[in-house]
Amino acid sequence: MFSSALQMVQDPIFYNAQENLLFIDVTGFMGDGNPNYKGLEMYFQKSMNPNNIVPKVAQLFAEGFVKESPDHQKFIDMMILNGKIMILKDAFLPTYPEYLKMNYTQKQYEWAVANEANIWNYFVENNLIFGDDHRLEDRFIAPGPFSKFYTEIDNESSPQIGIFTGWQICKVYLKEKPDTKLQDFLKMDATVIFNQSGYKPKVQ
């Protein structure tokens, strides 16, 4: 662990694979609302607490195991790719709260859970699931203050909702096929996972 005096505050963890060294900049985890974070977007600050360190380290390592397929650029591919990373984080951190794995606040996680079916219906009705518009990544995968549905719910929505949805699809698949080995699952095609999961969330 080290201090960069806030120079690396937005990217505070990195891993040197050659030397097998993990570096954690403590200035990236001084707590949401810390006065030293003045001028930094609030949505960044929400996951800059000490209890976010372990999930972010798990994210870094999970990303190293889950490989992106260059010929798969559809929205479903992006969702499942990130869903696989989340499943690996589940394996790494079985006792950690779900909201921390998503870098959410408790409130953001509860919103995502409560609106899971509505989110999915929106994706289906707008033909987004197999869409290849590169803007979908910015709207539903990339970090931000909220997801971009372009509706009145945007400001209250949780960010990166495409990652949350991909995670749920992967969970359903593994629940349906519990004998699947994790190593095999991580190599599976996204569309196959989606089709065989039978994912269809119900309105709560």
Per the CB < 8 A criterion, the answer to whether 182 and 88 are in contact is yes
Q: What is the pLDDT of residue 70?
A: 72
Q: What is the pLDDT of residue 204?
A: 66
DSSP string for residues in 27-95: GG-S-TT-GGGTTS-HHHHTT-SGGGHHHHHHHHHHHHHSPPPTT--SHHHHHHHHHHHHHHHHHH-TT
What's the chain's average pLDDT?
Answer: 95
As a whole number, mean pLDDT of residues 37-52 equals 94
Residue type, 155: N
Q: What is the pLDDT of residue 18?
A: 94
% residues pLDDT > 90 (the chain): 92
Look at 35-39, 70-74, 187-191 and tell me which has the smallest mean pLDDT. Answer: 70-74
Per the CB < 8 A criterion, the answer to whether 86 and 102 are in contact is yes
Pairing of strands 21-24, 13-16: antiparallel
The residue among 9 and 78 whose pLDDT is bigger is 78
Q: For the chain, first and last CA: distance in Å? A: 43
Q: Does residue 125 surpass a pLDDT of 70? A: yes
